[in-house]
Structure 1
Amino acid sequence: MTISGLLPACNSSGGDAQPQIPLAAVNEQLILTDQQNSALRFDNGAITIRGGVRGIIVVRQNASSYLAFERNCPYQPLDTCSRVKVEPFLRLYDPCCKSQFSFTGQPEAGPATLPLRRYSTALSGNLLTITN
């Protein structure tokens, strides 16, 4: 009986919490030497690929380190236009809410305060595997 009296207090929330990005299984492979991935031959080069919820952004940090992010912006992720785009060698941005992100996925401007969802990457020779 005392447990049911505690449930409303545990269930109360501020009401202004942002919805979370939906989950999607990610298991993608990129051959880095393919011409379509040529932007990944340079540090801070980025491409978008299919996968995830609204696509995946792949960023080269250096020849042996790559980052992969969900394209679904963390600010109001359920909006149909909430999709981060690549402005080559400058930034990642969501034209819908005007949020901007660094090439490490951190928010830099706009209303977004959360970083982009990051996926795991593993490099084996010229094959980059992206998973969650």
Structure 2
Amino acid sequence: MKKLLTLLSICILTLSCQKDSVEIIPNVRFTAEINLDNPQYSGSNPFIVLPGGTNQHVGIKGVVVYELSRSDYYAFDLMCTHQHEKTTPYFVQIVKPGDIVLKCPECGSEYNVAVEYGSVVKGPAKWPLKRYQTSVSNNILRIWN
């Protein structure tokens, strides 16, 4: 009986020590530099940066960038946090130019990119968009993880 209780206690302790949180969006290391004078990015807020050219890796498959001021930006991954467990992830999109709420075409989740955490406006997503670090120097926006 004592052995059974000891074994049961070990099992309970082992199971209770498992990681509480799930990594929603995979952690991908990258650094991207965006020339803010480029017509592709100037004049649009928010704007999307996709991988390509000198920026081979930008988030999972791109980021959305929101300009708070000429020196302060938010950058979020485009991957929908609701669809993270699927083998084919879905990516949020800008519905109308200048709109700060992005929408997942698959699940309908909506995210506000004009706030610090890319918060969920409408579910079924429960987690905000993954945010990346940003800095600006000489009109070059640097985004990294």
**Which band: TM-score by shorter chain?**
0.7 to 0.9
Asked whether 1:131 is paired with 2:144, we answer yes
Q: Which residue of 2 aligns with 1:31?
A: 35
Per the TM alignment, residue 124 of structure 1 is displaced from its structure 2 partner at its CA by: 0.5
- CA change 1:7–1:18 in 2 (3 A) is closer
- What is the distance in 1 between the residues matched to 2:120 and 2:39? 30
Q: Which residue of 1 aligns with 2:14?
A: 7
SS at the partner of 1:67? strand
Per the TM alignment, residue 8 of structure 1 is displaced from its structure 2 partner at its CA by: 3.0
Q: Which residue of 2 aligns with 1:120?
A: 133
Per the TM alignment, residue 7 of structure 1 is displaced from its structure 2 partner at its CA by: 1.1
SS at the partner of 1:113? coil
Gaps in structure 1 of 5+ consecutive residues: none
- CA change 1:12–1:34 in 2 (3 A) is closer
Instruction: Name the Cα RMSD after superposition.
Output: 2.5
Tell me which protein shows more strand as a share of its residues. Answer: 1
- CA change 1:4–1:129 in 2 (3 A) is same
With normalisation by structure 1, the TM-score equals: 0.81
Instruction: Work out which of the two has the higher radius of gyration on C-alpha atoms and give 1 or 2.
Output: 2
Q: Which residue of 2 aligns with 1:85?
A: 93
1:21/1:78 contact within 8 Å kept:
no
Asked whether 1:46 is paired with 2:41, we answer no
Q: What does the per-residue CA deviation read over 1:4-39, in whole Å, with 9 as the maximum and x for residues that have no partner?
A: 3421343497xxx86621121120000000111123
- What is the distance in 1 between the residues matched to 2:23 and 2:71? 34
Q: Which residue of 1 aligns with 2:79?
A: 72
Identity %: 31
- What is the distance in 1 between the residues matched to 2:105 and 2:22? 19
Q: Which residue of 2 aligns with 1:98?
A: 108
With normalisation by structure 2, the TM-score equals: 0.74
